[in-house]
């Protein structure tokens, strides 16, 4: 009985999420609203957006001759960098390609390159997302963004900053269990600057260096204080949530228990089939990557 009850709740939540906004077809990876805007994930923030003409080329690497050939191209589109993903939306979507996205931490070997006469490009190796329409025997893809009107340097900088934050947050969570919001500036930890020493002629330059170090320290202290306040606010919100949960549990004990359903929820078999298919795809991709 309890199993069916959980599945009913899962199905209702899934249907509510699906009906809230228009989504792309199976081969696309980004949810789009009815007005064509990117639907952000919970807690996601857009930190950089390039509206200039940017081309996209995603394909199976030549180093994987036994993998299923896959290729997607777009001559012009918009690129986003969020605190979680890189998103590409073509200017003119088609039935076969409407959008692309991948978690920032799934990108490797990122680099900026240029031809002798052509525009600058941003290249990377990216791990396909499960359920994104990529063949399961393709463990990685080559991605190329061509910036026809500039903007590659700023994009690379934003990407590297966000990847560093995400890597730091993931490492800290693995080691301590502490969750850091990646949408905020992280405090930097550096050794104290050594005290200046030297002849009187260097006093002026030493004083300037000390002033610069003091300014940096003040900024770092401010960032640390902001970060600490955000953590305290999150802790307070968590305590309030626990209190509401406790009150709800106390009230629920005084109420009659709802009758558990004795049959599977609507579309239960389809949801189960999707979950099994995603697990099979991930296993196949991991096996292909080990070959």
What is 2-163+261-290's CATH topology?
Answer: PH-domain like (2.30.29)
- 38-53 pLDDT, tens digit per residue, is 888 888 999 999 887 8
Residues contacting 132, CB < 8 A, separation 6+: 27, 28, 29
In the prediction, which pLDDT does 54 show? 96
Task: Output the DSSP codes for 175-213.
Answer: HH-----TTSPPPP--PPPPPP-S-GGGHHHHHHHHHHH
Q: What is the pLDDT of residue 192?
A: 41
Residue 67 contacts residue 60 (beta carbons within 8 Å): yes
The residues spanned by each domain of the chain are: 2-163+261-290, 184-190+204-252
Is 241 buried (19+), middle (13-18) or exposed (0-12) by CB count in 10 A? Answer: exposed
CA distances from 144 to 118, 133, 147, 153, 256 (A): 14, 19, 10, 15, 59
Structure tokens at 273: 């089939």
Give pLDDT, residue 104.
96
pLDDT 10s digits, 129-166? 887 788 888 889 999 999 999 899 999 999 999 999 99
**Rounded to an integer, what distance in angstroms lies between the CA atom of residue 7 and that of residue 279?**
18
Which pLDDT value is given to residue 73? 94
Phi, psi of 205 (to 5 degrees): -65, -35
Q: What is the pLDDT of residue 264?
A: 66
Give the integer Cα–Cα distance in Å for 22 and 46. Answer: 20
**pLDDT at residue number 250:** 57
Residue numbers of the chain with a pLDDT score lower than 50: 1-28, 186-206, 208-210, 213
């Amino acid at each position: 009985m309890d199993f069916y009850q959980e599945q009913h709740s899962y199905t209702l939540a899934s249907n509510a999420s699906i009906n809230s906004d228009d989504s792309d077809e199976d081969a696309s990876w980004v949810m789009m609203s009815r007005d064509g805007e990117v639907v952000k994930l919970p807690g996601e923030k857009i930190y950089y957006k390039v509206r200039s003409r940017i081309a996209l080329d995603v394909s199976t690497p030549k180093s994987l001759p036994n993998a299923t050939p896959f290729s997607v191209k777009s001559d012009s589109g918009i690129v986003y960098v969020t605190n979680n993903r890189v998103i590409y939306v073509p200017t003119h979507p088609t039935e076969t390609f409407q959008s692309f996205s991948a978690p920032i931490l799934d990108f490797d070997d990122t680099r900026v390159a240029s031809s002798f006469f052509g525009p600058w490009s941003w290249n990377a190796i990216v791990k396909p997302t499960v359920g994104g329409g990529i063949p399961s025997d393709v463990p990685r893809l080559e991605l190329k963004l061509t910036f026809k009107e500039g903007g590659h340097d700023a994009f690379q900088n934003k990407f590297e900053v966000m990847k560093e934050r995400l890597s730091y947050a993931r490492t800290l969570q693995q080691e301590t269990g502490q969750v850091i919001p990646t949408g905020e500036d992280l405090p930097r930890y550096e050794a104290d600057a050594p005290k200046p020493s030297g002849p009187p002629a260097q006093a002026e330059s030493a004083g300037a260096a000390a002033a610069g170090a003091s300014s940096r320290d003040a900024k770092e202290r401010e960032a640390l204080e902001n970060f600490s306040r955000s953590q305290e606010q999150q802790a307070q919100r968590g305590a309030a949530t626990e209190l509401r949960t406790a009150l709800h549990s106390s009230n629920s004990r005084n109420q009659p228990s709802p009758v558990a359903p004795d049959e599977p929820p609507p579309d239960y078999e389809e949801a189960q089939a999707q979950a099994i298919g995603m697990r099979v795809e991930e296993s196949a991709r991991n096996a292909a990557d080990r070959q």
